[in-house]
Amino acid sequence: MRLLVRFGLMVAAVWLTFTIIPGLSYDGNWLTLVILALLIALANALVIPILKLISLPIRIVTLGLFTLAINILVLVGVIALAQSIEVGIASDGFGASLLGALLLTVLSSLISWIAKD
């Protein structure tokens, strides 16, 4: 049940991000947001752990700050992937995607903090 609640909060965070950040838009369909949240969940489960392991020396030197850069780059990649497979996501450029990824990283951290396992 907690997994569904966290996923619902993630869909809401994606909606809030695409509503607040100028340059990011979606086609108005909630299914688009659900698909994007699923892509983000897959990236968080499969890609980020591998990148964190590979970048461990850099993360140690930067006291974990490089983890934020990893999260942002992966989310920018997910937005670009969703845009390329024509899910209904549009981004005006790298800047909008970067701001959206930064906001989504902050919101995701808040969700993880609020909905602890």
Residue extents of the structural domains in the chain:
2-114
Whole-model pTM: value is: 0.85
Amino acid at 96: A
| Cα distance between residue 99 and residue 110, in whole Å | 17
| Cα distance between residue 43 and residue 90, in whole Å | 19
pLDDT of residue 117: 61
| Cα distance between residue 35 and residue 26, in whole Å | 11
pLDDT of residue 62: 94
pLDDT of residue 35: 92
pLDDT of residue 49: 94
pLDDT tens digit sequence for 9-27: 999 999 999 999 999 999 8
- With pLDDT > 70 as the criterion, what percentage of the chain qualifies? 99
Q: Mean of the per-residue pLDDT values for the chain?
A: 90
